[in-house]
Structure 1
Amino acid sequence: MILWFRHLPQLSIDMSKWHPFIQNHWFRNHYMKFVYLLQVIILLIPNFMGGWLPHINTFILMLAGVMVFVLHEILHIMVIIKKGDISLTFKGIFFWIHTDAILSKARFWVFMSLPFVTLSMLPFILSFVSSEDIKSILLFVSWINTLISASDIINSFLIAIKPKNSEFRRGFYRLKQH
């Protein structure tokens, strides 16, 4: 079941087994500042690369940006759709997807990384073997998705440093029960 713009019911989590995904209290409190900083850096990339943004109608670029955002979220949902209920909410400019499923380290990493790999890294690599017009569009898609993926990028690194047998649920992780 997908809940649109509503939160999933609260969970009772055994804090003796589950630990906050971001354990450092200071970093947990300032996490979004790191996301904003990464987004500012990503926003400045076209300026450092000689203004490579495509010379296409602004409306078409905005439409392309919306399409990239929708594809980005669909890729996230595809990873977890059969694992449990999903809540799609937003806060400010950020769109959040939550599930009540317990995800393995590998599935949670794929959940966080698939949109970045598919819509940022792949178009960037393809831009090296494309004509100039297609190259500009591919770089735009890569850039706009990287901007959208700022939080996912940080989370992917945090997932990678967790123990191999970790399981994840709603902002917490635990070592897998045998």
Structure 2
Amino acid sequence: MINSISLTVNGVRRDIALPDPRVTLLDLLREQLDLTGTKKGCDRGQCGACTILVNGRRINSCLALAISHDGADITTIEGLAQGDKLHPLQAAFIEHDGFQCGFCTPGQIMSALGLINEGQAGCDPERIREGMSGNLCRCSAYAGITEAVLEVQQSLAAEKERRVA
């Protein structure tokens, strides 16, 4: 029996046939939708390389069954840039050397975006490190990652303050 689901992926509605109800969001994104920016690291929810946003909240896509997310709004790393214009987090990761090999970078950026959207980033580097602790970087680029998230969080907070004033 083939199940079908509808997802909005990076702003585009997709109707998807699932021949196997055990397909994870990670495998669906990579194998059926050719969105390979989301990485398969540990495949056990321990490294964060597969982090995506589902309805604005970050999840480990390797642990999420696709069939359970029918109707969801999904954002992957491919959905952040607007043409040639990088998302502020992508630009900040480059500016602060928040990556080395780059394998974990998509998951780090998506987790950082979720952290900011959830209002959990704050302006304390330790709070950011704690909030990002589910994303591992084997190259240890943590200082640059924290600086990038802190910069974007402060920039967004200042922008919000200007709009309110």
Task: Answer yes or no: same fold by TM over 0.5.
Answer: no
* Structure having the larger proportion of residues in helix: 1
How high is the TM-score relative to the length of structure 2? 0.29
TM-score by length of 1: 0.27
Select the structure with the greater relative contact order (CA < 8 A; seq sep ≥ 6).
1
| Larger Rg over CA atoms | 1
